[in-house]
Amino acid sequence: MQLQLLDWTIIASVLVSSVLVSLAVGRKAASSAQEFFLSGRSMPWWLLGASMVATTFSTDTPNLVADITRTKGVAGNWVWWAFLITGMATAFFFARGWRRSGVATDIEYYEIRYSGKPAAFLRIFRAVYLGLIFNVLIMASVTLAAIKLGTILVGASPLEIVIVAGSVTLLFSILGGLKGVLITDLMLFVLAMTGSIAAAYFAVSMPQVGGISALFEHPQVAGKSSILPSLSDPDAYIPLLLIPLLVQWWSVWYPGSEPGGGGYVAQRMLAAKDENNAMGAVVFFNFAHYALRPWPWILVALASMIVFPDLDSLRAAFPDIDPSVVGNDLAYPAMLTFVPSGWLGVILASLLAAYMSTMSTSLNLGSSYFTNDVYMRFVNPKAKPAQLVTIGRVAMAITMVAAGFLALQLESALQSFNILLSIGAGTGLLFLLRWYWDRINAWSEISAMIISFVTSLALQLGNFPNLLDWEKLLISVGVTTAGWIIVTLITPRDDPDTLVGFYNKVQPRGPGWEWTKAQPSATRERNRSAHTLHLSLACMVLGCTAVYSTMFAIGHALKSANQMAFIASAVAVISGGVCYRIWAQTFRN
């Protein structure tokens, strides 16, 4: 397949526009580390929310959804849809606390919440662990998707794609800082949505598919098009629905869906101009991420099951592709080969936009860890603003090179997703409770990381042929949770001055801070109406109901099940309206 001049023009315009935006804000971004990494803490909710959506609209996400849908059906996507609960909990329980904390990164949190050398160790370890190891793994997965797209649609080699795409994104990231990322993310999100909808339209319109009605009636698709797994089959509903909804969302640490908030979500909340904008950004992100975006990807994946029913058909269609990288995730880029010129340029530009958005956010976040939590904290506390920006840019370059190298070793997006899920199993509850229980200390987190890693490694490498993946997850969660709770109870409480300082600044809620509140230097709560846990829980449940109902409404409408679509829409409007009313009367005062 050959790209035409129009396609290349559209792609080039996206690249040029992104660089121009970065150049426009580059001078101010380079004025200080706070401007470069947090945009001066002055950003509105809608821009921050759009940026988070654009960041999660990664090049590898459609491939991941295609892999899941082809192998486990539409219902298999509950493995990531369940993280909506995590996101809504972050919005209504933790967003205000993050913004009040005043930290520059979520890693800095450790030394305002915990005390002593364990807290300092935890800060530098997590900075390297998340900023380098996990960040590189995420970026490598995104780059792998770009490789698969590029080899099919452009005909470039994996190394050429890594060098060209990485260099352009690195330049864009170095120039504009976070503000450049946020502004271009808004443009890139609109383009990415346009491209994904266009891809779905052309996929469904293919002669082999025959339109939207024929798609859902096709024998290859009918058995995998249900939003919910079969409730009469425990082998389906336990791993696909019950485990994600009852266990995974609160127990597993996953980038972008960290229990309690973290990573780029925390960075956006910290960049908000106030607490309410921090909350609004997370709510908007979760609505767009889970309700609006999945269906175009799913439609392409379902259509691919007709056009390319198995891996052999994919290998036959693309004989020049290395057989080792031909997996179900390749079906999404394979379907794009049928898109006509012009629209193909739009879709490729949208996927390039998705790549740039995710990678630039990861580069900025990872370099902020190295700059703020390693270099300025432990190497050169008196570093000048210009030095810090330079260090951040150097860290970006190193991270990009490492991610490109690893991308050449991976085989699929689902492989990376499963690695991240397994390593973080069991740590999630700690990240939730550390805001509500003053007894938790740095040793709690250190032990949770060690136990989770060792347990997951043992379960993955050990010979346990009778254990299913979800059973391994439950074991890992149980062992890790029990382990860090025991460590918490047998280790000393943190220094009272540290706990009181954190309490006075953040004003955490709940009965778990009674010991700290009893200290003479603890201040009284500033706004008791904003500290009602039951209203936060109500908003969280209503928010999840609104988003899931919207998702169901769209799915039923696509299947022409109009009555069910109407009922789901009504539930979404009512629950969303009640949620907003509680929020407006309680949290926005």
pLDDT of residue 328: 87
**Residue count of the chain:** 589
Overall number of domains in the chain: 2
Region class of 468: left (phi > 0), else alpha (psi between -120 and 50), else beta: beta
User: Would 445 be classed as within a structural domain?
Assistant: no
Lowest mean pLDDT among 145-154, 175-184, 473-482, 536-545: 145-154
Lowest mean pLDDT among 404-418, 463-477, 490-504: 404-418
For residue 417, name the pLDDT band (cuts at 50, 70, 90): low
Contact yes or no for 403/436 (Cβ under 8 A): no
pTM of the shown model: 0.88
Percentages helix, strand, coil for the chain (3-state, rounded to 5) are: 80, 0, 20
For residues 110 and 252, membership in a common domain is answered with yes
- The segment with the largest mean pLDDT, out of 132-136, 174-178, 515-519, 582-586, is 515-519
For residues 38 and 182, membership in a common domain is answered with yes
- Distance (Å, whole) CA 103 – CA 245: 31
User: Would 330 be classed as within a structural domain?
Assistant: yes
Q: Name the domain boundary from 403, 423, 443.
A: 423
94-104: average pLDDT: 93
For residues 279 and 154, membership in a common domain is answered with yes
Q: Name the domain boundary from 423, 441, 458.
A: 423
Per-residue pLDDT tens over the stretch 247-283 = 989 988 777 788 999 888 999 999 999 999 999 999 9
Contact yes or no for 46/263 (Cβ under 8 A): no
For residue 212, name the pLDDT band (cuts at 50, 70, 90): very high
For residue 487, name the pLDDT band (cuts at 50, 70, 90): very high
User: Would 197 be classed as within a structural domain?
Assistant: yes
- Distance (Å, whole) CA 491 – CA 115: 13
For residues 412 and 536, membership in a common domain is answered with no
Q: Which domain holds residue 76?
A: 5-423
Residue bearing the bigger pLDDT, 84 or 361: 84
Angle in degrees, 0-180, between the axes of helices 5-29 and 158-204, rounded to the nearest 10: 120
For residues 299 and 419, membership in a common domain is answered with yes
For residues 407 and 536, membership in a common domain is answered with no
User: Would 428 be classed as within a structural domain?
Assistant: no
Q: What is the CATH number of the domain that holds 41?
A: 1.20.1730.10
CB atoms within 10 A of CB 223: 9
For residue 411, name the pLDDT band (cuts at 50, 70, 90): low
| One-letter identity of residue 503 | Y
Which residues, in sequence order, are CB contacts of 154 under 8 Å at separation 6+? Answer: 3, 161, 348
- Rounded percentage of the chain residues whose pLDDT exceeds 70: 94
Please state, in angstroms and as integers, the Cα–Cα distance from residue 338 to each residue in 2, 194, 308, 334, following that order.
Answer: 11, 17, 13, 8
Per-residue pLDDT tens over the stretch 428-473 = 899 999 999 999 999 999 999 889 888 887 887 777 888 888 888 8
User: Would 362 be classed as within a structural domain?
Assistant: yes
For residue 497, name the pLDDT band (cuts at 50, 70, 90): very high
User: Would 539 be classed as within a structural domain?
Assistant: yes
User: Would 315 be classed as within a structural domain?
Assistant: yes
478-505: average pLDDT: 94
pLDDT of residue 352: 79
User: Would 470 be classed as within a structural domain?
Assistant: no
Structure tokens at 457: 């490694």
87-102: average pLDDT: 94
pLDDT of residue 371: 93
For residues 415 and 543, membership in a common domain is answered with no
Angle in degrees, 0-180, between the axes of helices 385-407 and 158-204, rounded to the nearest 10: 80
pLDDT of residue 527: 47
Q: Name the domain boundary from 357, 390, 423.
A: 423
Backbone dihedral angles phi then psi of residue 272, each to the nearest 5 degrees: -70, 150
For residues 548 and 401, membership in a common domain is answered with no
- Distance (Å, whole) CA 352 – CA 339: 16
- The segment with the largest mean pLDDT, out of 127-136, 504-513, 537-546, is 537-546
